[in-house]
C-alpha cells in the first residue's frame, strides 16, 4: 500500500474511561508514516467527555450521537464516513461500537479488529439483546484482542471463540506523567492523615459502596485516614447518601471527574479498586506507574497486573472487611507499602508501556490489512 493505512478507532462514546484512554494513547503513538488514525464515537458522551483531548491531537474526530442501536442512520452515517475517508481497518471498543462496527465492516468489506476490554460476565450483565448481539457479532470480526491472557482464555472457553482468531495485547498506558510522580510518602500538612483513593465511574461495576463500607472499618483503627472517590456516574447520589448515613461525611471526599490524575495519585498513599468485575483496569496500571501500592479485587485480569504481596494486595470481590483489612495492613506498614509501590512501578513500566502496546497493534493492523489486500488481489485474478 503506497499510502498510510487508515485506521478508524470506533468507540461507543468518548466518556472518560479506561477504553477511551487506551484509544487516546494509541492515536497519540501510532507511527504516522505508516498509519493515519481517525476517531468516531457511536453515541454522545454522557457527562464528562474526552472529546477535547482527542481534538488536541489534531486527528479527525466525529461523534454520530446515536441514542440506540436500532436506528438505520447510525449505520449509514458510519458507512458514509468509512467510504469518504477510504478507511482500511475498523478497530472497535466496547459493546455499541463492536456491534455497529462489525456489521458495517462486513457490509463494506472492511477489516474489523475488536478489543475485548472486559470479561464475558460484563457483557452478560448488559441487556439481553446487547449481550447476544455482542456475542454473535464476534463472528463478523477479523480478529479479537483480549486485554489479558486470562480474559482471552475466558472468551475461548465461554463463547467458543476460535483461538486462532484471538490474541492478547495488554492495555497500555501513556505513563510518563505517572512515572514522574515522586515515590514515597506524599507531602501533607501537619496533622493530616494518609489518603486512600479510588478512581472510576460510579456504577455497579466499580462497587464503590464497598470502598465506603471499608472506609468505615478502617477509620476505627486509623481515625486520621481520609478517603477519596474520583469520578461521576449514576450511583453518585446513592454513594453520597451512604457516606452520610455511616457518619463519613468528613472522611470520604467526592472529587468528581479529574483530569490531573497524576497529581491526584501523587497526593494519595494507597489506591483501591473494589470492582465487581473488570477487564484489565487502566486506572490500576496508572496507580502502579505512580508508585502507589494497590489493593484490588480478584476479578478479570487483575492477577495479570498485580503480583499479590509484591506490587499490591488482591482481595475477594464483594468483601468489604477483606478490603478494609488489606488497606489497614498497608497503613500499618509504611516501609512495606512503599516497597510495593516501587515494585509496581517497575512492573508496569516494563509490561504496560503504551509505546510497546502500540507497536503490537501496529503489527496486527498491518497483518490484517495485508491479508485482506492479498485476498482481494487473488479474487480479482482472471480465471485460467
Which helix (H) or strand (E) segment is 40 a member of? strand 35-41
d(CA 262, CA 173): 12
**CATH class in words for 176-351:** alpha beta
Rg (CA), the chain: 22
Per-domain residue ranges for the chain?
Answer: 5-172+353-374, 176-351
- In this prediction, residues 98-120 reach a mean pLDDT of 94
Helix 282-289 × helix 334-351 angle, to 10°? 120
Q: How confident is the model at residue 144 (pLDDT cuts 50, 70, 90)?
A: very high
Instruction: Say whether pLDDT at 10 is over 70.
Output: yes
Torsion from C-alpha of 218, 224, 225, 227, nearest 10 degrees: 110
**What is the per-residue pLDDT for 51?**
85
Instruction: Say whether pLDDT at 91 is over 90.
Output: yes
- Lowest average pLDDT, out of 47-61, 123-137, 212-226, 313-327, goes to 47-61
Instruction: Tell whether the torsion through CA atoms of 326, 329, 335 and 336 is positive or negative.
Output: negative
182 Rama sector, left if φ>0, alpha if ψ -120 to 50, beta otherwise: beta
Is it true that 5-172+353-374 and 176-351 share their CATH fold?
yes
**What is the per-residue pLDDT for 384?**
40
Instruction: Say whether pLDDT at 90 is over 70.
Output: yes
Q: What is the pTM of this model?
A: 0.79
d(CA 364, CA 371): 11
**What is the per-residue pLDDT for 96?**
93
Which helix (H) or strand (E) segment is 335 a member of? helix 334-351
**What is the per-residue pLDDT for 47?**
65
**What is the per-residue pLDDT for 48?**
63
**What is the per-residue pLDDT for 379?**
55
**What is the per-residue pLDDT for 18?**
75
CB 60 within 8 A of CB 87: no
Q: How confident is the model at residue 377 (pLDDT cuts 50, 70, 90)?
A: low
Instruction: Say whether pLDDT at 124 is over 90.
Output: no
**What is the per-residue pLDDT for 86?**
97
Q: Tell me: the pLDDT tens digits for 162-217?
A: 999 999 998 888 889 999 999 999 988 888 999 999 999 999 999 999 999 999 99
Counting residues of the chain whose pLDDT is more than 70, the rounded percentage is 97
Q: Tell me: the pLDDT tens digits for 31-50?
A: 999 999 999 999 887 766 78
Q: How confident is the model at residue 26 (pLDDT cuts 50, 70, 90)?
A: very high
Average pLDDT, the chain: 92
**Bigger pLDDT: 81 vs 188:** 81
The three cell numbers locating residue 98? 463492536
* CATH of region 5-172+353-374: 3.40.50.2000
* Range with the largest mean pLDDT of 190-204, 275-289, 315-329: 315-329
Instruction: Say whether pLDDT at 378 is over 60.
Output: no
- In this prediction, residues 322-346 reach a mean pLDDT of 97
Amino acid at each position: 500500500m503506497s499510502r498510510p493505512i487508515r485506521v478508524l478507532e470506533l468507540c461507543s462514546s468518548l466518556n472518560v474511561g479506561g477504553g477511551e484512554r487506551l484509544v487516546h494513547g494509541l492515536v497519540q503513538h501510532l507511527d504516522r508514516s505508516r498509519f493515519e488514525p481517525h476517531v468516531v464515537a457511536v453515541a454522545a458522551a454522557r457527562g464528562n467527555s474526552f472529546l477535547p483531548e482527542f481534538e488536541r491531537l489534531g486527528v479527525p474526530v466525529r461523534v454520530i450521537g446515536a441514542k440506540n442501536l436500532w436506528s438505520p442512520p447510525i449505520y449509514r452515517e458510519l458507512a458514509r464516513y468509512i467510504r469518504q475517508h477510504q478507511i482500511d481497518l475498523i478497530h472497535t471498543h466496547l459493546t455499541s461500537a463492536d456491534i455497529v462496527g462489525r456489521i458495517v465492516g462486513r457490509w463494506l468489506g472492511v477489516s474489523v479488529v475488536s478489543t475485548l476490554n472486559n470479561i464475558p460476565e460484563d457483557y452478560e450483565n448488559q441487556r439481553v439483546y446487547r449481550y447476544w448481539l455482542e456475542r454473535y457479532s464476534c463472528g463478523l470480526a477479523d480478529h479479537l484482542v483480549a486485554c489479558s491472557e486470562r480474559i482471552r482464555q475466558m472468551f475461548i472457553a465461554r463463547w467458543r471463540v476460535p483461538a486462532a482468531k484471538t490474541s492478547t495485547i495488554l492495555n497500555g498506558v501513556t505513563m510518563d506523567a505517572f512515572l514522574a510522580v515522586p515515590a514515597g510518602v506524599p507531602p501533607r500538612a501537619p496533622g493530616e492523615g494518609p489518603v486512600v483513593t479510588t478512581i472510576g465511574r460510579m456504577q455497579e461495576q466499580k462497587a464503590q459502596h464497598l470502598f465506603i463500607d471499608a472506609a468505615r472499618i478502617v477509620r476505627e483503627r486509623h481515625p486520621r485516614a481520609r478517603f477519596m472517590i474520583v469520578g461521576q456516574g449514576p450511583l453518585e447520589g446513592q454513594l453520597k447518601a451512604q457516606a452520610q448515613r455511616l457518619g463519613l461525611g468528613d472522611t470520604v471526599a467526592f472529587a468528581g471527574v479529574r483530569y490531573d490524575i497524576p497529581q491526584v495519585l501523587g497526593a494519595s498513599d494507597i489506591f483501591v479498586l473494589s470492582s465487581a468485575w473488570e477487564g484489565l483496569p487502566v486506572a490500576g496500571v496508572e496507580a502502579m506507574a505512580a508508585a502507589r501500592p494497590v489493593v484490588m479485587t480478584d476479578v478479570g485480569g487483575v492477577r495479570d497486573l498485580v503480583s499479590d504481596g509484591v506490587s499490591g494486595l488482591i482481595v475477594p470481590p464483594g468483601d468489604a472487611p477483606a478490603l478494609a483489612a488489606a488497606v489497614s495492613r498497608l497503613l500499618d506498614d509504611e516501609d512495606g507499602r512503599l516497597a510495593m509501590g516501587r515494585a509496581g512501578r517497575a512492573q508496569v513500566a516494563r509490561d504496560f508501556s503504551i509505546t510497546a502496546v502500540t507497536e503490537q497493534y501496529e503489527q496486527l493492523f498491518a497483518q490484517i490489512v495485508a491479508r485482506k489486500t492479498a485476498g482481494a488481489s487473488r479474487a480479482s485474478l482472471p480465471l485460467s
